[in-house]
């Protein structure tokens, strides 16, 4: 018996202040969006790239992928995914960041399984060993049922007596939404807490939409700058491309 239908959506905005044309940035002879697509397809049967730029759409279709044009007015990747959801029906939608070519297929699969089991929004995290004080590393704390209590750029939980009594968690930027919760989320306005931390997921928590957290051993690097791009290339060279070849 087959499970509920799942659609992976890769938002890919061409414009980037720090790295113009980011989805098409070359990584070991392939555009970054192709690395993301190939990895996603090892986790999901259906994947579509949601972009506001014909150049990205043409490249995606050129390597055999599926692309859908979305309005330039979409403010976030979640908005782009919601636009796709109006055109392509599924029970669950997976927001796979177009600038994370190292996102492991099993990380995607684990979050999808958790979302289906809980019938709620799900997202992955990994045990954090470095970068606890780095505001670019988003941390998350969870309750005993793996439900997110809070996400922050600050060190959480804060070790008041210089001792951590649990393993801190690094949040990875991937989300799985049941269809009804995706619709509910995009209908909500950004909250003061979200605007303060610049973390969209806080909008869900503030409005009572639960987010469950799956744990993965696989890290990922979001590409925002040229040094990030070089770090991804280094990681892929060291692994011989294993991150994209490994299956579900």
Q: Structure tokens of 144?
A: 């005993």
The 10s digit of each residue's pLDDT in 170-216 is 999 999 999 999 999 999 999 999 999 999 999 999 999 999 999 99
Q: Is the domain of 95 the same as that of 139?
A: no
Q: Is the domain of 14 the same as that of 95?
A: yes
DSSP bridge partners of 215: 125
User: What's the pLDDT score for residue 243?
Assistant: 46
Q: Which residue did the predictor score with more confidence, 72 or 113?
A: 113
Q: Structure tokens of 235?
A: 């990681």
Q: Is the domain of 58 the same as that of 145?
A: no
- Domain annotation covers residue 225: no
Torsion of CA 139, 144, 183, 94, to 10 degrees: 60
Mean pLDDT of 52-57: 94
- Domain annotation covers residue 113: no
Q: Please determine, for residue 84, whether its predicted confidence score (pLDDT) is greater than 80.
A: yes
- Domain annotation covers residue 48: yes
**pTM of the predicted structure, to 2 decimals:** 0.93
User: What's the pLDDT score for residue 63?
Assistant: 96
User: What's the pLDDT score for residue 89?
Assistant: 96
Q: Is the domain of 1 the same as that of 42?
A: yes
Q: How many structural domains compose the chain?
A: 2
Q: Structure tokens of 230?
A: 């070089």
User: What's the pLDDT score for residue 244?
Assistant: 44
User: What's the pLDDT score for residue 72?
Assistant: 84
Q: Is the domain of 91 the same as that of 170?
A: no
Q: Please determine, for residue 241, whether its predicted confidence score (pLDDT) is greater than 80.
A: no
User: What's the pLDDT score for residue 242?
Assistant: 53
Helix (H) or strand (E) holding 226: helix 226-239
Contacts of 158 (CB under 8 A, 6+ apart): none
DSSP line for 52-68: S-HHHHHHHHHTT--EE
- Domain annotation covers residue 240: no
CATH code at position 198: 3.90.550.10
> Mean of the per-residue pLDDT values for the chain?
93
Find the domain containing 169 and state its range.
Answer: 119-219
How many Å apart are CA 41 and CA 114, to the nearest integer? 19
User: What's the pLDDT score for residue 16?
Assistant: 75
- Domain annotation covers residue 111: no
């Amino acid at each position: 018996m087959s499970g509920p239908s799942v659609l992976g959506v890769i938002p890919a905005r061409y414009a980037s202040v720090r790295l113009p044309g980011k989805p098409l940035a070359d990584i070991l002879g392939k555009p970054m969006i192709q690395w993301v697509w190939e990895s996603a397809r090892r986790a999901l049967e259906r994947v579509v790239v949601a972009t506001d730029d014909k150049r990205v759409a043409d490249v995606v279709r050129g390597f055999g992928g599926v692309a859908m044009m979305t309005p330039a007015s979409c403010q976030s990747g979640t908005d782009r995914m919601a636009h796709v959801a109006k055109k392509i029906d599924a029970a669950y939608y997976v927001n796979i960041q177009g600038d994370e070519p190292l996102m492991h297929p099993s990380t995607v699969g684990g979050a999808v399984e958790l979302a289906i089991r809980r019938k709620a929004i799900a997202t992955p995290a990994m045990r954090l060993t470095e970068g606890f004080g780095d505001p670019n590393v988003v941390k998350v704390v969870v309750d005993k049922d793996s439900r997110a209590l809070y996400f922050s750029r600050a060190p959480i939980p804060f070790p008041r007596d210089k001792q951590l009594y649990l393993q801190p968690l690094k949040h990875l930027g991937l989300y799985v939404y049941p269809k009804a919760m995706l619709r509910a989320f995009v209908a909500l306005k950004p909250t003061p807490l979200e605007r303060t931390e610049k973390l969209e997921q806080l909008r869900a928590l503030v409005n009572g939409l639960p987010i469950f957290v799956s744990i993965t051993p696989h890290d990922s690097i979001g590409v925002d700058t040229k040094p990030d791009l070089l770090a991804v290339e280094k990681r892929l060279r060291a692994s011989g491309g294993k991150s994209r070849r490994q299956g579900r």
